[in-house]
Amino acid sequence: MDDIEFVHLFEIKEEQIIELMNNEMVGEQMPLLAGGFSSENCQAFLAAKKQLWDEHGYGPWAFLIKGEFAGWGGLQPEHGEADFALVLHPNFWGWGRKIFNKVRDRAFSQMNLNSITILFPPSRTNWKAITRMGFANDGEMTVDGELFKRFRLNKPQL
Residue 31 clears pLDDT 70, i.e. is over it:
no
For 110-139, letters b (16+ CB in 10 Å) and e give: eeebeebbbbbeeebeeeeebeeeebeebe
Q: pLDDT for 66-110, tens place per residue?
A: 999 999 999 999 888 999 999 999 999 999 999 999 999 999 999
Residue 1 clears pLDDT 60, i.e. is over it:
no
Q: What is the mean pLDDT of the chain?
A: 90
When pLDDT is averaged across residues 135-149 and rounded to a whole number, the result is: 88
User: How far is the C-alpha of 18 from the C-alpha of 15, rounded, in Å?
Assistant: 5
pLDDT of residue 33: 66
pLDDT of residue 35: 72
pLDDT of residue 157: 81
Coil, strand or helix at 139? strand
Q: Mean pLDDT check: name the lowest of 18-22, 102-106, 119-123, 130-134.
A: 119-123
All structural domains of the chain: 4-113 (3.40.630.30)
Q: Which one is predicted more confidently, 53 or 124?
A: 53
Residue at 42: amino acid letter: C
pTM: 0.89
Residue at 136: amino acid letter: A
DSSP string, 3-56: SEEEE-GGGS-HHHHHHHHT-HHHHTT-TT--S---HHHHHHHHHHHHHHHHHH
User: How far is the C-alpha of 50 from the C-alpha of 100, rounded, in Å?
Assistant: 21
